[in-house]
C-alpha cells in the first residue's frame, strides 16, 4: 500500500464524512440500532457518539490502520462499550447468528467484494436481526448513471476504492436480505456522487 492510500486517503475520508449534511442520516440509522451491534467500516468513529440506550455494545470493523487510530479516542468517549477490530467485512471474525444489528454508513461503496461482505453480514446476524444502511450509489437517471460508469474507474483510484455506480438495493437483495424499508434522496452536489439509499433489511 502506497503513501497516498495509507495516509492521504484516510484523512480525506475523515474530512468528507464530517460534512454536516450527513449528520441527519447518521442519526436516523444509528438511532435505530439495538442490542449487540456490528458496525462495518467505522472510519474515524463518527457514529459512536450517536448510539442510544437500546444498544448493549458495538463491535467496529475497519481495515485501515490510520482510520482505526483516529477512531480510538471516539470509542473511549462513546456512551456504549466499543470494541475495535482490524478486519475486513469480507471475512468477519465473528460467530454466525451472534449480532442483533449490522450497521453500515457510506461503506459498501468501498468494499472490494461488496456481495461477499453482505453475505458475511447476513451470516453473523441473528435470524431476527436487522441490517441498517445509508449509502450513496447508482442514480436512477439514465444519463447520470452513464456518467457514473464513465468516471468510476478514475474516481475509485483517487478515492480509496469508492465506487459511484453500485445499485445498493440490488446488492443487498442479492446477498439474501429482504428489504423492509428503503428511502432514496439526493444530497446537494454533483449528481454522480449524491444519490442515497437509506434502508432496513432482514435475512430472507
pLDDT in tens, 170-183: 999 999 999 999 99
What's the confidence (pLDDT) of residue 158?
87
What is the per-residue pLDDT across 44-55, written as a single tens digit (0 to 9) for each? Answer: 999 999 999 999
DSSP per position, 167-198 = -HHHHHHHTTEEEEEEEEEE-SS-TTT-EEEE
Mean pLDDT of the chain: 93
Higher-confidence residue of 189 and 14: namely 189
pLDDT for res 12: 60
Would the pTM of this model clear 0.85, i.e. be above it? yes
Q: Does 4 have pLDDT greater than 60?
A: no
What are the residue boundaries of the structural domains of the chain, listed by start? 3-203
- Compute the Cα dihedral for 160, 163, 168, 173 and give only its sign: negative
pLDDT at site 102: 98
Q: What residues are paired with 119 via a beta bridge?
A: none
Alpha-helical (H) ranges within the chain are 3, 9-17, 23-31, 65-77, 114-124, 142-158, 168-174
Instruction: For domain 3-203, give its CATH number from 3.40.50.1440, 3.40.630.40, 3.40.50.11890, 3.40.50.150.
Output: 3.40.50.150
Report pLDDT digits (tens) over 89-139: 999 999 999 999 999 999 999 999 999 999 999 999 999 999 999 999 999
CA diameter of the chain: 45
35: left (phi over 0), alpha (psi -120 to 50) or beta: left
Does residue 11 have a pLDDT over 70? no
pLDDT-based confidence at residue 2 (cuts at 50, 70, 90) = low
Is residue 10's pLDDT more than 60? no
Amino acid at each position: 500500500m502506497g503513501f497516498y492510500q495509507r495516509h492521504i486517503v484516510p484523512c480525506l475520508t475523515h474530512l468528507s464524512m464530517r460534512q454536516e449534511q450527513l449528520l441527519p442520516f447518521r442519526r436516523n440509522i444509528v438511532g435505530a440500532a439495538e442490542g449487540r451491534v456490528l458496525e462495518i467500516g467505522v472510519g474515524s468513529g463518527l457514529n459512536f457518539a450517536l448510539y442510544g440506550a437500546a444498544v448493549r455494545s458495538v463491535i467496529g470493523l475497519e481495515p485501515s490502520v490510520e482510520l482505526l487510530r483516529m477512531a480510538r479516542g471516539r470509542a473511549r468517549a462513546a456512551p456504549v462499550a466499543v470494541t475495535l477490530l482490524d478486519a475486513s467485512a469480507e471475512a468477519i471474525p465473528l460467530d454466525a447468528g451472534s449480532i442483533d444489528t449490522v450497521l453500515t454508513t457510506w461503506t459498501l461503496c468501498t468494499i472490494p467484494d461488496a456481495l461477499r461482505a453482505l453475505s458475511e453480514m447476513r451470516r453473523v446476524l441473528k435470524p431476527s436481526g436487522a441490517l441498517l444502511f445509508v449509502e450513496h450509489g447508482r442514480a436512477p437517471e439514465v444519463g447520470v448513471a452513464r456518467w457514473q460508469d464513465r468516471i468510476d474507474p478514475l474516481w475509485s483510484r483517487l478515492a480509496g476504492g469508492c465506487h459511484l455506480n453500485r445499485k445498493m438495493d440490488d446488492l443487498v437483495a442479492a446477498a439474501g436480505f429482504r428489504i423492509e424499508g428503503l428511502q432514496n434522496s439526493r444530497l446537494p452536489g454533483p449528481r454522480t456522487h449524491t444519490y442515497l439509499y437509506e434502508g432496513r433489511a432482514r435475512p430472507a
